[in-house]
Amino acid sequence: MKKITAAPIIIVAMLVTATVRAETPDLKTQTGFDLGLSLSSYKYEEPGLMSLEGGKIGVDMRIAKMFPSEWSIRGELRHAYGKLDYNGSGSASGNPDLYTEARFLVSRDWVINDAVLSPYTGGGYRYLYHDGRGISCTATTCYWGYRRESNYLYWPVGLTLRSALNNQARLVSTVEYDHLLQGKQVSHMSDGGYGHSDATNTQKKGYGLKLSVNYEKDNWAIGPFVHYWNIDDSDIVPEIQNGTPTGWGLMEPKNNTVEIGFKGSRQF
């Protein structure tokens, strides 16, 4: 009887296992640091009143920690800047506009067949700044612009699906709902002169949506994204001129924001 040693069988098994692993990327959340760059089209609108529109360039950072329990935590920071065109009671171009968004999220991975599903939640803060100072005019009216600052606290709830493609690549799709907890709008009315005082409005109703699809391979990721916000009317505060109420009220009108872009990033 011919003897058969175990060595060739073990070697073949190791080669098969290595081949399978080489063709199946790790779909679970990865510990590490991500740095990304994005280009986007941005539009803020108060329907029937005014709009701000233009392009933005953004920088994204993310740090994540995965635990053996399949739970993970991560922090995210995004900063985007652009110069927008204003159209409303007047018109102006090249107004500086930026926003910064910081988030802390908790997630858990669930393996489902050949994919990983990761629901997540946490907290988010979004700060916006627009500098509309100067005079802008139409054929019939002129408008004196001012600086505006917006602060939003919100509760994000999202779902990420990672599925395997060929050649160690992954397709990562994310959908997220953001529930506004509270917003504060600061309008620097004093920039317009005439003795007006700055106004601060509170916003309590609104929501946001985030959608993205990324192709990931070898620690690189690239893909499109859409961000949307819909904020309801704020409260009404008295207009103050030269230290005296004018009898008029000031309100931050219902508004929506749409940002559509393309992002590339690398994990370190």
DSSP 163-208: EE-STTEEEEEEEEEEEEEEEEEEE-GGGG-TTBPPEEEEE--EEE
pLDDT tens figures, 10-24: 344 433 333 334 455
At 193 the pLDDT is 75
The Cβ-side half-sphere exposure at 89, using a 13 Å CA radius, reads 7
Task: Spell out the per-residue pLDDT of the chain, length 268, in tens.
Answer: 444 444 444 344 433 333 334 455 688 998 999 999 999 999 999 999 999 999 999 999 999 999 999 999 999 999 999 999 999 888 889 999 999 999 999 999 999 988 999 999 999 999 999 999 987 776 677 778 899 999 999 999 999 999 999 778 999 999 999 999 999 999 999 998 788 899 999 999 999 999 999 999 989 999 999 999 999 999 999 999 999 999 999 999 999 999 999 999 999 9
Instruction: Quote the CATH superfamily of domain 6-267.
Output: OPCA outer membrane adhesin/invasin (2.40.128.100)
At 233 the pLDDT is 97
Cα separation, 144 vs 132, in Å, equals: 8
Structure tokens at 108: 């858990």
At 26 the pLDDT is 85
Cα separation, 206 vs 217, in Å, equals: 36
At 14 the pLDDT is 39
**Where are the domains positioned within the chain?**
6-267
Can you give 108-170 as a three-state secondary structure string? ECEEECCEEEEEEEEEEEEEEEEEEEEEEECCCCEEEEEEEEEEEEEEEEEEEEEEECCCCEE
Closest to 232 (Cα-Cα) out of 175, 182, 177, 157: 182
At 3 the pLDDT is 44
pLDDT tens figures, 163-188: 999 778 999 999 999 999 999 999 99
What letter would DSSP give residue 218?
A: T
Cα separation, 209 vs 173, in Å, equals: 14
